[in-house]
Homo-oligomer: A and B are copies of this chain.
């Protein structure tokens, strides 16, 4: 059993950790905005309500599946609202909710930080790569 101790300990740690993470608000938010399409969709909605197909074109490159899936997730979290107008060709509009709009603001803050520090980051990256792999 002694040889299992290390693995066991890690698993114990992971369990406790998962539980901890599950109730960590930051985690949820981080997971959301870390999603490739969430931020893009959110800023696409920043200008105003958009229809399903409009979002598909605005984000260009997203598959129907991911578009729907992401939208559903955002709707579930109360970040966007979904309004169905049962006309002949059904019409569905998506819009930011107040909370969603405030999240867009937060993304704006992140964007500002990113633009202010990207130069330093890329410089560090270039230097790092140059140091580790001098010749061919």
Contact = CB atoms under 8 A, between A and B. Distances in A.
Given A110-B106, A121-B77, A30 B26 contact: no
Contact of A114 (B16, B17, B26, B35): B26
B78 A123 contact: yes
Nearest to A17: B61
A19 to B, nearest CB: 11
B124 A17 contact: no
Interface residues of A, number: 45
Interface of A: 10, 13-14, 16-18, 25-26, 28-31, 33-35, 39, 60-61, 63, 75-79, 99, 102-103, 106-107, 109-111, 113-115, 117-118, 120-121, 123-125, 127-129
